[in-house]
A and B are shown apart, each in its own frame.
Chain A
Amino acid sequence: AQKITQTQPGMFVQEKEAVTLDCTYDTSDQSYGLFWYKQPSSGEMIFLIYQGSYDEQNATEGRYSLNFQKARKSANLVISASQLGDSAMYFCAMIQPDTGFQKLVFGTGTRLLVSP
């Protein structure tokens, strides 16, 4: 079964430094999509970035980039120049084909704390 693993329950980083949040996935499908969502303390789920399995280049969105290593089945999120507002839970998720419907499967999340 498809699975997303986030092995870092918590990460700390100083303001203005870069941080990498790990995500590995397990799938036998050739076509899939990977997402990162941010959940601040207010609770909403905010879409950050998307990577398709056939995309040749790593996805980037402003200070967010996705380090996609297909052979290793990893899709790490890199946040450059961390800001205090980046403190939040971060979830990696994968589209999982399932009898014609593509289900979004989430990891358990990584809590990021950015200190001044």
Chain B
Amino acid sequence: NAGVTQTPKFRVLKTGQSMTLLCAQDMNHEYMYWYRQDPGMGLRLIHYSVGEGTTAKGEVPDGYNVSRLKKQNFLLGLESAAPSQTSVYFCASSYGTSHTQYFGPGTRLTVL
């Protein structure tokens, strides 16, 4: 089992560029999540999904969009990147919302 994987691991964007982060899990989890981690702030939830074809906003959704076309994949998109989106992005998955979330290795994104 690979668990939760994320691509890419690192990315540098210029302001206004777009990109998509891919998260994949092979644990047959229903729930998937995208977080961002900023220094001194812990992790904050961007968007989440409770099943294939469903998505919902988390704590800090502005500037991001997500899609869950397949159960095992959860995509995070930035349509027009801003320097404030420089962060480390983590994907996670779980069987249910009260169950342990397992995290991917993270993607370090820098927006210049």
Contact = CB atoms under 8 A, between A and B. Distances in A.
Interface of A: 4, 33, 35, 37, 42-47, 50, 91, 93, 95, 101-104, 106-109
Chain B interface residue bracket vs A? 20 to 34
B37 to A, nearest CB: 9
B50 A101 contact: yes
A107 B44 CA distance: 10
Interface of B: 33, 40-45, 48, 50, 56, 58-59, 88, 90, 92, 97-98, 100-106, 108
Contacts, number: 52
Nearest to A32: B98
A103 B45 contact: yes
Contact of B40 (A44, A45, A103, A108): A108
A26 to B, nearest CB: 15
